[in-house]
Amino acid sequence: MIFVDPPGRVLGRARRQETWSVRSVDVEIFPDIAARLARLGADGFEDKVTINAMALARLVAKIGHSFAVAELGFGAFEELYAAHLIGADAEDWNYWVGGYDRGRDVPARELHELRFLRRGNELSVIVHLLVPYCPRYCYEVVVGRLRPGARIPVALDEGDGFRSLGQGIGSAPTTTG
């Protein structure tokens, strides 16, 4: 499951949002699934799962927050926005966590990929899980406000995938403060 809408902060929405949209992603993790099913005498299967959107958002927020702090350090930030999602449920989760469309299929170099996306002085982490099975759609976590002069490593900059969604949070990403 992928959240469709970007974080509410990116879209300029209210901090508390009652609803959210999701995209189901159909994947065949096992290339030999037809042979596996035939061995079982089946021609198809259905997975039924219950998704807790808050738990998923908290997981993605933890990944994004941890990555940002590990790569840049606490000193790079004036304020960290998603820290409250790490320890508890929060009504404003979809203000900070949402979907991200990379605008193209990304060739899979790794199973998971993490990148920075800078909009003005605010920083998001793009959390792309299971890239080979979902090469375009992923998650965005608005992690915090950067200090003036904070630099983003060019190798981790998602800047080439930027689309101007951010009403009220800045402009195109840069690699310097």
What's the pLDDT tens digit per position in 101-150?
888 888 888 889 999 999 889 999 999 988 888 888 899 999 999 999 99
User: Which pLDDT score, from 0 to 100, does residue 174 have?
Assistant: 36
Residue 97 within a domain: yes
User: Which pLDDT score, from 0 to 100, does residue 27 have?
Assistant: 66
Q: Long-range pairs for 80-83 at CB < 8 Å and ≥24 separation?
A: 80/143, 80/144, 81/9, 81/142, 81/143, 81/144, 81/145, 82/141, 82/142, 82/143, 82/144
Contact 6, 99 (CB under 8 A): yes
Residue 84 within a domain: yes
Task: Name which of 93, 106, 177 is nearest 141 in CA terms.
Answer: 93
Residue 168 within a domain: no
Residue 169 within a domain: no
| Number of structural domains the chain divides into | 1
Task: Name which of 127, 126, 128, 121 is nearest 151 in CA terms.
Answer: 121
Domain region containing 63? 2-161
Residue 128 within a domain: yes
**Sites in the chain below the pLDDT cut of 70:** 25-28, 160-177
Residue 170 within a domain: no
Residue 173 within a domain: no
Residue 100 within a domain: yes
